[in-house]
Amino acid sequence: MTATPFALPEAVLTAISAGTPVIRAYREHLGYSIDDIAVTSGLTVEEVELIESGYRFEKGYRDRIARALGLPEGIFDEISDIPNAA
């Protein structure tokens, strides 16, 4: 079974190309605050901020943010400006 490709909106791609991390770009595109995502995902504001800044938490954390944004799980593994943990 092949996953359906997911296309990012042009505004998100533009923000990413300007240096905005992908998770933050998508969150801002949808008009959500960090507080909104923290509450919806069950993460703390600090965890969301760290993840947006590129800190690599386990995959489950990124999937929780994806679900909070209404995106498919694993999307931030496919579209990655997120470096692997050292």
pTM: 0.76
Give per-residue pLDDT as tens, 32-84.
999 999 999 999 999 999 988 878 777 789 899 999 999 888 887 766 544 44
Q: What is the pLDDT at residue 21? A: 87
Nearest-10 Cα torsion for 27, 28, 29, 31: 90
**Residues 76, 65: Cα–Cα separation, whole Å:** 9
Rounded to 5 degrees, φ, ψ at 11 are -60, -35
**Up-side HSE of residue 47: CA atoms within 13 Å toward CB?**
17
Q: What is the pLDDT at residue 48? A: 94
- Domains, the chain, ordered by start: 10-78 (1.10.260.40)
